[in-house]
Structure 1
Amino acid sequence: MTLITSPANPRISKLQTLHTARGRKKNGLFLLEGPHLLETLLNASLWPHEVYYQPELLGRTAEGAALLDRLLHIPALKEAQLIEVSERVIEALGETQTSQGVVSVLPLDALNVELLQQRRKPGVRPCLLILDDLADPGNMGTILRTALAADVERILLTPHCVDYYSPKVVRSAAGAHISLLVETNVDWEPIAERITSHCGDTPRVLLAEAGSTQMYYEQDLTLPFALIIGNEAHGPSAEAHALATMPISIPLANAVESLNAAMATGIILYETVRQNAVQASTKKQSH
């Protein structure tokens, strides 16, 4: 078993470049920090390129100790892919203040849409979610996690969105990367094509925008639709406005101007969940 004790080790120096978009693109790899993300990977039978672990830190909890034992006995992972490191090294690899003892490395192409589509259960998914130049990694990660929970069809990210593979996004998404269908760097022309493919001949493109007189809960969210969430500071782009068929709003009291992008997305997505649950229940009762 390989053991690395110095943060200056060339392998560690290379991995530290994965904290930048340039480093991730150059090496075709990204980092997943913590036992939860590793366990999610293993449960999905997605084998990491490498795993760097510190046994004492990982073994501080019963769950961590069980994960370490599981990790060391997976036939698909060769010994050279499992690298034991010192506390100094695991802290140098991670971004959290207190390391949980494990950092996984995954190829960027391991999460391609075609592969994830094959593993996905069939289902009715009315919402195609479009994030328009979203800038904050915490918002992005929270939206990804919420979108997975609400079972959206997929997410399209415009080219100026925050990097989907940023460690802060990956950490905030809490495993959503491993199951959610996401297309990155999608220009508006192919976005329009995806919308037509999803919605049919009469696209419904709802644009979340404070101040609209059309409330989100007044829309029929059981039929296929696209939802656009704009940039936190500047709002929806001109291209988003051009594509939208209806602006929708969330009622706000006490002179509050707008909600956080992730919060607003969650409210609208869960109205979709509610309406579809009511429809399914009504159909069941009628039979």
Structure 2
Amino acid sequence: MTLITSPSNPRISKLQTLHTARGRKKSGFFLLEGPHLLETLLNAELWPHEVYYQPELLQRTPEGSALLERLLHTPALAPARLIEVSERVIEALGEAQTSQGVVSVLPLDALAPSVIHQRRPHLSRPALLILDDIADPGNMGTILRTALAADVERVLLTPHCVDYYSPKVVRSAAGAHVALPVETNMSWEAITERVVEHCGGQPRVLLAEAGSDQMYYAQDLARPFALIVGNEAHGPSQQAHNLATLAISIPLANDVESLNVAMATGIILYEAVRQQKQALP
């Protein structure tokens, strides 16, 4: 197995370009930082292109030690894919303030929505989520994690959303990239087609918007619907308004004007989960 000790190593310099959208697009790869994301990949039998690891940092916890042992004894990971590095190198590769000792490299096409969809159990999932120009990577990641937990059908991203493969999005999503079908850079025409297909020809498109007199909990969320949540600063786009069949809101007290978009999305999606559970025989 290779050992790299210098952050200025050409191989490391090339990997650092994956912190930018341009670098990811040019190379076709992206980074997943931390033991949890690597374990998620291994559990899904998605084998990284490469893994850069620092043994001493991993061995600081029992979980890290177990992961290192698994990493070194997984037959599908050839020794050439495992690169031991110094603490200086692992810190240069990651973006977290305190490195947890491992960074994985994965091809972008490994997480194609069609591939993820095929691996999912074939279940009825009423909720389709549309993110309309979400700009903050922390919000994006939190929404994706919540969408996976609430078992939405898939997530559609408009072209001006923050980069889905941004390291901050990937960290905040905490493994959602591996298990949740997400279609990126979707035109509103393509989104409309997806909505029609999902809703069986009769689109139900709920637009989360503060001030609507239609409450989210009063809607039938046990049958197929699409939910649009808009940009943090500017709210829903005109295209979102054009596609929506109903604007819904969350009741707010004490002159609070709005909720964080990730929080609002979670509230609505989990009302859908509640209704779906209630509808079961």
TM-score bracket, shorter-length normalisation: over 0.9
1:123 positional shift:
1.1
1:152 positional shift:
0.2
Q: Which residue of 2 aligns with 1:150?
A: 150
The within-5 A match list for 1:220-259 is 220-259=220-259
1:109 aligns with 2:94: no
Rounded Cα–Cα distance in structure 2 between residues aligned with 1:200 and 1:124 = 13
Rounded Cα–Cα distance in structure 1 between residues aligned with 2:182 and 2:114 = 10
Give the SS at the match of 2:96. Answer: coil
Give the SS at the match of 2:103. Answer: strand
Rounded Cα–Cα distance in structure 1 between residues aligned with 2:113 and 2:257 = 36
Rounded Cα–Cα distance in structure 2 between residues aligned with 1:202 and 1:82 = 50
1:115 positional shift:
1.1
TM-score scaled by length of structure 1: 0.97
The within-5 A match list for 1:54-65 is 54-65=54-65
Rounded Cα–Cα distance in structure 2 between residues aligned with 1:62 and 1:100 = 13
The within-5 A match list for 1:202-221 is 202-221=202-221
Q: Which residue of 2 aligns with 1:80?
A: 80
The within-5 A match list for 1:2-151 is 2-151=2-151
Q: Which residue of 2 aligns with 1:185?
A: 185
1:89-111 CA-to-partner distances (Å, cap 9, x unmatched) read 00000001110000000000000
Q: Percent identity?
A: 80
Give the SS at the match of 2:211. Answer: coil
TM-score scaled by length of structure 2: 0.99
Counterpart of 2:160, as a letter, is H
Q: Which residue of 2 aligns with 1:267?
A: 267
Q: Where do 5+ consecutive residues of structure 1 fail to align?
A: none
Rounded Cα–Cα distance in structure 1 between residues aligned with 2:200 and 2:28 = 36
Rounded Cα–Cα distance in structure 2 between residues aligned with 1:55 and 1:223 = 49
1:109-160 CA-to-partner distances (Å, cap 9, x unmatched) read 0001111111101111001100000000000000000000000000000000
Give the SS at the match of 1:116. Answer: helix
May I ask how many residue pairs the two structures share in their alignment?
281
Rounded Cα–Cα distance in structure 1 between residues aligned with 2:108 and 2:202 = 35
Q: Which residue of 1 aligns with 2:278?
A: 278
Give the SS at the match of 1:271. Answer: helix
1:185-238 CA-to-partner distances (Å, cap 9, x unmatched) read 000001000000000222100000000000000000011000000000000000
Counterpart of 1:12, as a letter, is I
Rounded Cα–Cα distance in structure 2 between residues aligned with 1:62 and 1:243 = 50
Give the CA RMSD over aligned residues: 0.5
Q: Where do 5+ consecutive residues of structure 2 fail to align?
A: none
Give the SS at the match of 2:65. Answer: helix
Rounded Cα–Cα distance in structure 2 between residues aligned with 1:223 and 1:146 = 19
Counterpart of 1:254, as a letter, is N
Counterpart of 1:3, as a letter, is L
Rounded Cα–Cα distance in structure 1 between residues aligned with 2:97 and 2:112 = 31
1:17 positional shift:
0.4
Rounded Cα–Cα distance in structure 1 between residues aligned with 2:206 and 2:176 = 24
Rounded Cα–Cα distance in structure 1 between residues aligned with 2:219 and 2:177 = 29
After TM superposition, the runs of 4+ consecutive aligned structure 1 residues lying more than 3 A away are none
Rounded Cα–Cα distance in structure 2 between residues aligned with 1:227 and 1:116 = 21
Q: Which residue of 1 aligns with 2:172?
A: 172
